[in-house]
Amino acid sequence: MPDYHIHTLPNGIRVVHKQVLHTKIAHSGFIMDIGSRDELTDQTGIAHFWEHMAFKGTEKRKSFHILNRLESVGGELNAYTTKEKICFYSSVLDKHFDKSFELLTDITFRSVFPEREIEKERGVILEEMAMYLDAPEDAIVDEFDAVVYEGHSLGSNILGTKESVSGFEKQDFLRFIDRNLSTDALIFCSVSNLPFDKVLRLAEKYLGDIPEIKKPRKRVPFTAYTPKSITLEKPISQAHCVIGSPAYALSDDRRIPFFMLVNLLGGPGMNSRLNLAVREKHGLVYTIDANYATYIDTGLLTIYFGTEKKQLKRTTSLVLKELQKLREKPLGSLQLHTAKEQLMGQLAMAEESNMGLMMMIGKSLLDQGKVDSLNEIFAQIKNITATDLLDIANDALREDQLSFLNYVPG
């Protein structure tokens, strides 16, 4: 049995399915190659607002009927927005897959954006903003995007601003969708025990009458980066810090080796170098981690920690010391083997989540035009050498290219 079945409908919508025989749950969703970076300067936050409004009324359903449709049979309906993607997705018992497919199609293509619901949801999103601002560990990561990607849409907060969200009307949503939605940049993805021919029959039933839409859109690449160091006083009791810089784009051959390097540095394992050096050895933090986000034309490395204000300088110095070690000392054969095994194990466990797997295959097909199997990814990881990692560390972890954003009590 092939890992994935992929079929392109006449209107350009691609359907990708993975059959998993041991589950009774059907996960599925529409992933669109549209995100907050595609907003014009007067549209900041509209992609995320659209995500909310999709649940607020279609040509044949009111908000209550949308929310009750799957919940009443024990299912879940949800959505998310990122810099480059919007996704509407669901999880239901396999016998209700037909029902979920029809509902997802309805909210994706036939939302009507009732003015009364826009006004109500505006308040919900403003409360969501307030919630994030009250959580400095979240707010600082979002603000760091603006530091690195200053002047570019990648630096805009996905939630938008109070001013922008307060001004959106129905026509703004329709214009944004009309400008960005293309059927050839849209995936329906599913993971369930259902055979592919059944999924395809339903795809033809529900998506066959969607007209082909082709909107040529060229994303403005990010090119102008200047390292910065910014410290802001906040009404908080702990200092928070993000350190980072632009990194490799999604299509760069160094992406997977760099991902392994970042995982070694500050991944989810308690044995990450940053956790051992800063928390376990010195007890300076509760949380410290490193992350690597990829986009079509760039990427972003971020290192986050929170500590006492008086320990901020010392903690930052310890982080920079760990980066220096990666630049100066190649991994030994045992260290390299362990790093590979750890990453492969983490990826395999992530694939145990069928929900996460469903989203991964859809995003991969959108971004790369293919879906790599776990074994193909493992083969790339096994080919990484200590020299590869050393070269990448010296290219991507240069101290003179790092930006710093600090929140301190004040």
Tell me if 282 sits within 8 A of 336, measured CB to CB: no
* pLDDT of 217: 82
Task: Write out pLDDT tens, residues 147-178.
Answer: 999 999 999 999 999 999 999 999 999 999 99
Nearest to 343 by CA among 288, 295, 383, 305: 383
For the record, the structure tokens of 215 come out as 């909107």
* pLDDT of 2: 57
Amino acid at 112: V
Dist CA 243 CA 317 (whole Å): 11
Nearest to 377 by CA among 362, 393, 361: 361
Nearest to 99 by CA among 26, 32, 22, 30: 26
pLDDT for residue 48 is more than 70: yes
Contacts of 68 (CB under 8 A, 6+ apart): none
List, in sequence order, every residue forming a beta bridge with 29; answer none if it has no partner.
Answer: 89, 189
Question: The sheet that has 86-93: what strands, in order across it?
Answer: 5-8, 14-19, 186-192, 25-32, 86-93, 76-81
Work out the pLDDT band at 3, boundaries 50, 70, 90.
confident
For the record, the structure tokens of 252 come out as 């760069």
Dist CA 158 CA 36 (whole Å): 6
Q: What is the pTM of this model?
A: 0.94
Amino acid at 369: G
Task: Write out pLDDT tens, residues 170-226.
Answer: 999 999 999 999 999 999 999 999 999 999 999 999 999 999 999 888 899 999 999
State CA 85 to chain mean position distance. Answer: 8
Q: Which helix (H) or strand (E) holds 160?
A: none
Dist CA 315 CA 229 (whole Å): 16
Half-sphere exposure of 374 (CA within 13 A, CB side): 12
Task: Write out pLDDT tens, residues 236-261.
Answer: 999 999 999 999 999 999 999 999 99
Mean pLDDT for 133-160 is 95
* pLDDT of 244: 98
CA–CA distances in Å: residue 188 to residues 26, 27, 54, 204, 226 = 13, 11, 16, 12, 39
Work out the pLDDT band at 1, boundaries 50, 70, 90.
very low
* pLDDT of 373: 87
